[in-house]
Amino acid sequence: MFTEMPKMFQEMLAHIISALPSIMTAIVIFIVFLFIAKSATSFVYRVAKMHPPQRQPIFYLLATISRISILLIGVITALGSAGVNVSALVASLGLSGLALSFASKDAFSNLLAGIMVLFYQPFKIGDIIEVGLLKGEVVKMSLRYTHLISEQKEILIPNSTLLTNNITIHKS
C-alpha cells in the first residue's frame, strides 16, 4: 500500500497540472465578471444620485439585482470554462428560483408594488391619504411599506394594499 502512494500522488499531481490552464482561465473569467459587476453597480449608484431621494430605493434594488445576476452568470461561465457540467446547476437554480418565488409571494408583491408606488408617485411625502379605514400623513415611502402618521401613531401600509385598494389623496 505504501509503495503505491508515491504513484498515486504523481497521478494526482499530473491531473492537477493538466487542469491548471482551465482553472486559471476560470479565475480570470470570474475576475472579469467581478469587475463588470462592480462597474455596473457604481454606474447605477451614480445615476441614483441624480434622482430625488424617494426614487433612489428603486435604483439601489436595481444595482443589487444587476450585481447578483452578473456574478451568477460569471460563476456559471467560469465553472463551464473549467470543465464543470453546468446544465444541472442552471436547472437547479431555475427550480430554486421558482420555489423561492412561490414561498415569498407576498414579499415580492409588496416589493413590486413599492417599485410602482415609488416610480409613479401617486402621492408624495406630506400628503394626507386614506386607504380603507386608515388615514394619515405620508412621512416615508419604502419598497415594502408606506409610512403614515395619524394621531401620534405610526401606520405601516404594505404597498400591495395601496395597489389593490382605493386611495383618497389630500394634497399638501
H or E element at residue 19: helix 4-49
- How many Å is the Cα radius of gyration of the chain? 25
Q: What is the pLDDT of residue 70?
A: 96
Q: Is the pTM of this model over 0.95?
A: no
Measured between alpha carbons, how far is 162 from 119 in angstroms, rounded to an integer? 14
Q: What is the CATH number of domain 122-170?
A: 2.30.30.60
Task: Kindly tell me if the per-residue pLDDT of 122 is higher than 80.
Answer: yes
pLDDT digits over 59-103, tens only?
Answer: 888 899 999 999 999 999 999 998 888 888 888 888 888 888 787
Domain over 4-103 is classified CATH 3.30.70? no
Per-domain residue ranges for the chain? 4-103, 122-170
Name the band, by pLDDT with cuts 50, 70 and 90, for residue 2: low
**Mean pLDDT for the chain?**
87
> Which of 156, 160, 143, 162 has its CA nearest to residue 64?
143
Q: What is the pLDDT of residue 7?
A: 79
Is-contact 162 117, C-beta < 8 A?
A: yes
pLDDT digits over 39-49, tens only?
Answer: 999 999 999 89
Q: How many CB atoms lie within 10 A of CB 50?
A: 9
